[in-house]
Structure formats: structure tokens, C-alpha cells
Amino acid sequence: METGIPSNYSRLIARELDLTFNQLPRLLHGTGLPIKQFLSEDSLLTPGQQIQILRNALALSGQPEFGLRVGKRLTPATHGAMGFAASSSPDLLSALQAIHTFLPTRVSVIQLHLQQIEDHLECRLVFLMQLDDDLQRCVAETIIMTLLAFGEFIVGRPLHEAEIGFAYPPPQYQEIYSKCMSGRIRFGCDHLMLRLPMMLCREPNASANNENYRLALQQCESMLAELQTQKPSYQTRLKKMMLSRPPGTLSEEEAAAALFMSKRTLARKLKKEDCSFRQIRDEILSRQAADYLSGSQLSVEAIASLLNYHDNASFRRAFKRWFGRSPTQYRQHGNSSDTAPRSRH
């Protein structure tokens, strides 16, 4: 099954090319994508559309090293919940494991395999579709720079110990590689890979945040589960949209616009699925509120703020409606069976 690729990567490519709105059709040529859909934050591209955009971008740039240019723009935050999970993980090994598990939620043209070989961790990358040489080199450059960016963010310095292997001969611009990447670079290898010392992978992450890490993993797991659905329901698509944004900030009007329909049409489609926008929103917020109360020491006021409630009283009323008790009572009683969210149908 082909899984969707978030369009933010292609919008980043458009920015790197410094394209104006009127020039976007040149980037989208051959994809069948309307500009409005391309510019929608929640839109997903097929692997074929993503590759065609990359092929167009290479031609428009006139620079064979375009993959390195794009790679420089990719920060951990670019990769949504997966990037959030990796950058808040306990160490680099945990971050790479998160990327290995949840990469399908971001890119479905390449897989990451991890293997410990003696005192090193080998990160081997395997392409899942046939690409011509220029495109494969471009994607290889970008994904390696992505992994290095995560590593440098977590370790807090360039990864001089890294060994990088590219499965193609040295390109004419090979001298640029050492300016973009730390570590030892080799060409003509059997496969695309990044090798790191295990001691480096186990160094604690100075930016680790257990609460953020746990919540980001939950978001990633929800998104990964959705990929198992051939034709996701509208409530599934809404949940994905809500989980990819700050809690409680997606309005029904914005959701309908992102799905290219009116608010009334969205309500009608959700009714056929025996649910409503408010029920889905309550399900997401109640689960997040319960997780905060049972898994952290955050105050009720702080949790209300994190869930974007304008005042504590509104949050307390909503929580009482969800669980039949106050946030304080819920925290005192823990996750007993009578604290499950009430049915909202």
C-alpha cells in the first residue's frame, strides 16, 4: 500500500528554489496536484508525486548537489511528531530506534534498518522504489544529512566519529560533502549507511524530556496505526490532523477547509460514521489530559494551558464532563476502571 508523504517537504523544496506562487506549476508539473492542495498543511503526497516534484526541482535548480542544499534545511522539527519523539529521546540510540519505527509515517520510499556490529551501530538505508541515479543520489544525500542533524542535535556537536557510506561513485562535486557532513565519507559502498560508535549512541541527550518523548511516541503510534487502513475514515483523518497540531487548536472550519469541503458536508460525513467533530476533539483532549494527570507532576493549571484552554474553570468543567470527576480526584484515584471517559455518543 502506498502511504502518504507530508507535503511540507515539498514546500521546503519550493522555498529552497525561491519560487513565487506563479512559478509553483513548474514544480508540480506532472503530479496532477492543484496548487491549493499542495499549499494545504495537512495534504499528503503519493510517493510518485513526491518523486516527480524532486525530479522537477533538480531540473529547476540546475545544480546536481541540490540534495545537499535541501538537507541543510531539514531540522528535527521538520519531521513532525517523529522528529519531536527523536529529539526528546533519552539518547541517540533511542532516537534512531524511533526514526526506524516511525519513518513510514513521514517517507515511504526508504527504510531504515539498525544493526549492532561489535561496538558500532550500523544504520542501513534501503530504497523501496526504483529511482534513476540522480534522484537516488539526491535522496541519499538528504536522508544522511537528516540522520546527522538528529545526531548533532542530541550529542551537541558534530559527529566526527561517524562513518558514512554512499552506494554510488564520487560525484563531480564530492568536495562539498565534507563541508556539509562530519565524519569519514566513502563512495562506491555496497549499500547506503551511517555507522556510529555504540558509546556515542548511548550518551545522554541533554535535551531529553521524558514527558514530551512519551506523548510524541503516542502521536507517532496513532499515525502508524492509521497507515494500516486502506481507506481511512473521516474521523481517522481528523484525529491525524488533531494529533499533528497543538492540542485543541484545530477548528471545525479549518478541518473542513483542509479536506476541501464545507463545514456542513464534513458534519454530514461524520454523522454517517456515528460521530461528530466535538466527539473526536473530546476523545483526543480527554486522553491527553488523562495522560498528563497520571504520568506527570504537572499542575492542573499547567495541563489546562498545555491543552489550550483559556481558563482553568473551562478545563475543569470539560474534564468533569469527560470523566465524571474533577482532575484532582482523577489524579488521586489513578486509572481505576470507573475513571474511563464517559461515552460521548
Instruction: Determine the Cα angle at 138 with ends 137 and 142, to 5°.
Output: 115
Residue 126 has pLDDT above 70, yes or no: yes
Distance CA 160, CA 176 (A): 16
* The predicted structure's pLDDT at residue 227: 67
| 231-339 to CATH, choices 2.30.30.280, 3.40.50.150, 2.50.20.10, 1.10.10.60 | 1.10.10.60
Phi, psi angle pair for 233, to nearest 5°? -70, 170
Q: In sequence order, what are the beta bridge partners of 195?
A: 122, 163
Extract the C-alpha cell encoding 7: 507535503
CA atoms within 13 A on the CB side of 254: 11
Instruction: Kindly indicate the confidence band of residue 337, based on its pLDDT and cuts at 50, 70 and 90.
Output: very low
**In a 3-state reduction of DSSP, which class is residue 272?**
helix
Q: Where are the domains of the chain?
A: 1-62, 64-208, 231-339
Looking at the predicted structure, is the pLDDT value of residue 242 above 50?
yes
Q: What is the pLDDT of residues 243-259, one digit of tens each?
A: 767 788 889 998 888 77
pLDDT at 231: 61
Q: Which of 167, 161, 200 is nearest to 186 (CA)?
A: 167
Q: Judging by DSSP bridges, how do beta strands 184-186 and 192-197 pair with one another?
A: unpaired
Report residue 240's pLDDT band, with 50, 70 and 90 as the boundaries. Answer: confident
